Amino acid sequence: MAKSDDSSPDARARRYQRIALWSIAFILLSAVILPLGSYVYTGIQSAQAQAVEDSNPRANYWRAVREGDRGYTAVEGKEAGVLVQSGGQNWRQYRNRLLANYGGWALFLIVIAILVFFGLRGRVEISGGRSGVMVKRWNAWERFVHWYVAILFVLLAITGLSILFGRAVLIPLLGPEGFAAWADLAIGLHNVCGPAFSIGVAVMIIMWIPNNLPSKGDGEWLSKAGGMFSHDSHPPAGKANAGEKIWFWIISTVGVTAIVTGFILDFPNYGQTRDTMQLANIIHGIATLVWVGVWFGHAYLGTIGTDGALEGMTTGEVDANWAKQHHNLWYDEVRQSGGETRQAAGEAPKPGTGEQPA
């Protein structure tokens, strides 16, 4: 049998083909295996680092601190043995990034919406003008409680918002030293005014519950938004309309929530844990932002938004035409019961109003 000639052109071509195929296979296999080597190398490094850390007392100590492990301290207290509470970082994220950021924008947009509405709608004037006859609406005690709560609310809102938004808003205006001085004063005022404010709110709720229970006509008032978007006659309402009732129940729910959480923050030495304090702080912030946002609308409608409304809480009296326009059911009750009315000083009842002082 004759031997094959490996030096022939065909044999060399076949040999080159085999070399090429094995080379391609080797390259492909290397492309798959070599990257996996980095995982092996990383794993070895991690294991070595963990071994070093496990044997490092300082690393072990701070790991235990971060995980909230309790240690020993001579100081007495419920959480005295915890050096660092890791939940504080989560609280800081919620407060500074979510609450302060979105809450600030929400209040800003509410103010802008009120200004736009006032520019488009204008002031709600008294239909037919003033009658010259004044009707008693609030007595001296009711007005005192209202203004007591209102003044403290404004002080708490200013100081509380300063604490929440101070870093972003006030430091650029006052500088670090100026803001530090104001923040120190604001925190002191806030903590002192809060308990005093809660007393006024409690008295207000008890005093005005009868006026703010649901009644017939509230649904119609809400469906027409109290006539704020039209120049037609206002829907019927008693001494408190449906909008005022909503404001009252916001005070009684959201407001009371803000007050209770405020007490938790104001008196921290009655068994509260830091987790409880942090949760109370977030709830307090949300509740007060909602309260302040709704208060913007209440203050607008009670002052520049509605002609004659502010007089009820300053003098205790309102014009008869204002009463008929905004609270006609209550006005009818006043007239039927012989309620207190009088002629406005220096004015006579205007012809065509049909009003005469009792």
Check residue 234 and give its pLDDT. Answer: 79
Spatial neighbors of 277 by CB under 8 A, at least 6 apart, are: 264, 265, 268
- Judge whether residue 2 has pLDDT over 50: no
Check residue 13 and give its pLDDT. Answer: 61
- For residues 256 and 91, the model is more confident at 256
Predicted model pTM: 0.74
- Judge whether residue 42 has pLDDT over 70: no
CA distance 43 to 31: 20
CA distances from 339 to 142, 308, 330, 346, 354 (A): 17, 19, 11, 21, 16
Q: What tokens were used for 128?
A: 């037919």
pLDDT in tens, 208-243: 999 999 998 899 999 888 888 876 677 889 999 999
* φ and ψ of 318, to 5 deg: -130, 155
CA distance 156 to 187: 10
With CA atoms as reference, report the closest residue to 6 among 24, 18, 23: 18
- For residues 6 and 248, the model is more confident at 248
Q: What tokens were used for 292?
A: 């302040």
With CA atoms as reference, report the closest residue to 133 among 338, 326, 322: 322
pLDDT in tens, 248-289: 999 999 999 999 999 999 988 777 788 888 999 999 999 999
Mean pLDDT of 42-70: 62
CA distance 111 to 109: 5
For helices 9-54 and 57-66, give the axis angle rounded to 10 degrees.
80
Q: Do residues 274 and 212 touch, judged by C-beta distance below 8 A?
A: no
* φ and ψ of 124, to 5 deg: -80, 105
CA distance 341 to 344: 9
Strand partners of residue 343: 133
Q: What is the edge-to-edge ordering of all strands in the sheet holding 133-136?
A: 317-319, 133-136, 341-343
Dihedral sign from CA coordinates of 238, 335, 206, 303? positive
Check residue 326 and give its pLDDT. Answer: 92
Check residue 73 and give its pLDDT. Answer: 65
pLDDT in tens, 20-41: 667 666 666 665 565 555 445 5
